[in-house]
């Protein structure tokens, strides 16, 4: 016979309404794949910029969702991944320390490039009544762009701050940002730009 669970153990926490959502894609990352060494330094710079943006948006009541690859390990969970990266030397550990998830942040694992594909992201955004996404992460020309593409199909207003993403080369990053700006109608102004900083002062809630 199984022990009885406490009466409140299965009580779901209510999702807070958040018109705008900060979506962090694959920042918690061991970078142990071909090309990871080229991505490392730009990824640290992007994480540093994202930490400042996250602090500002959190202060405005914006919810953060971490969407991370499970790297093909189906027994994994997000917090184990965070712990593993925190214990690493070099860029993976530095990035994890820069943008370590805080209380109130939400986390999901994704099996493929887009954060929307085969994940609960769309359900979460619907429950929060979100209409605007701020997408930051790795890599600009892969998981960030494919996530932005799915956001475009779902008619989210999307901001991809250029300085809060990273790619293996500046050429690949620039081409991807141009595609997202022209085809996917994303705002790609960097978070460091004065106009973009003013943008964060918009109300987070409807």
Is residue 204 included in any domain, yes or no? no
Number of domains present in the structure of the chain: 1
State the residue range of the domain holding 140: 20-199
CB 96 within 8 A of CB 57: no
CB atoms near residue 10 (< 10 Å): 7
DSSP assignment string, the chain:
-PPPPPTTTTPPPPPPP-SEEEEEES-S----STTHHHHHHHHHHHHHHHHHHHHHHHHTT-EEEEEEE-TT-TT--HHHHHHHHHT--HHHHHHHHHT---TT-EEEEESSSSTTTTSSHHHHHHHTT--EEEEEEE-IIIIIHHHHHHHHHTT-EEE--GGGEE-SSHHHHHHHHHHHHHTS--B---TTSHHHHHHTTS-S--
Q: What is the pLDDT of residue 178?
A: 98
Is residue 133 included in any domain, yes or no? yes
Is residue 176 included in any domain, yes or no? yes
Q: What is the pLDDT of residue 139?
A: 97
CA distance 36 to 57: 29
Flag whether pLDDT at 57 surpasses 90.
yes
Is residue 12 included in any domain, yes or no? no
Is residue 15 included in any domain, yes or no? no
Residue % of the chain over a pLDDT of 90: 71
Is residue 96 included in any domain, yes or no? yes
Q: At what angle do helices 78-86 and 90-98 cross, to 10 degrees?
A: 120
Flag whether pLDDT at 206 surpasses 60.
no
Report the chain's mean pLDDT, rounded to a whole number.
88
Q: What is the CATH number of the domain that holds 107?
A: 3.40.50.850
Is residue 4 included in any domain, yes or no? no
Flag whether pLDDT at 2 surpasses 50.
no
Strand-pair partners of 144: none
Q: What is the mean pLDDT of residues 131-152?
A: 98
Q: What is the mean pLDDT of residues 128-150?
A: 98
Q: Considering Cα of 186, then 189, then 195, then 199, what sign does the dihedral take?
A: positive
């Amino acid at each position: 016979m199984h022990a009885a669970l406490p009466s409140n153990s299965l009580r779901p926490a209510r999702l807070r309404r958040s018109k705008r959502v900060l979506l962090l894609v694959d920042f918690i990352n061991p970078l142990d794949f071909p090309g990871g060494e080229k991505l490392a330094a730009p990824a640290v710079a992007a994480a540093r910029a994202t930490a400042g943006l996250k602090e500002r948006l959190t202060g405005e009541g914006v919810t953060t969702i971490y969407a991370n690859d499970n790297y093909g390990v189906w027994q994994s969970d997000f917090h184990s991944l965070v712990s593993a990266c925190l214990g690493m030397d070099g860029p993976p550990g530095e990035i994890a320390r820069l943008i370590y998830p805080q209380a109130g942040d939400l986390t999901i694992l994704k099996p493929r490039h887009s954060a929307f594909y085969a994940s609960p992201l769309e359900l979460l955004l619907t429950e929060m009544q979100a209409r605007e996404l701020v997408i930051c992460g790795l890599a600009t020309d892969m998981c960030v762009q494919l996530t932005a593409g799915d956001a475009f199909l779902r008619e989210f207003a999307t901001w991809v701050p250029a300085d809060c993403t990273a790619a293996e080369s500046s050429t690949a990053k620039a081409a991807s940002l141009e595609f997202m700006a022209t085809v996917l109608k994303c705002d790609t102004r960097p978070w460091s730009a004065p106009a973009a900083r003013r943008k964060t002062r918009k109300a987070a809630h409807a």
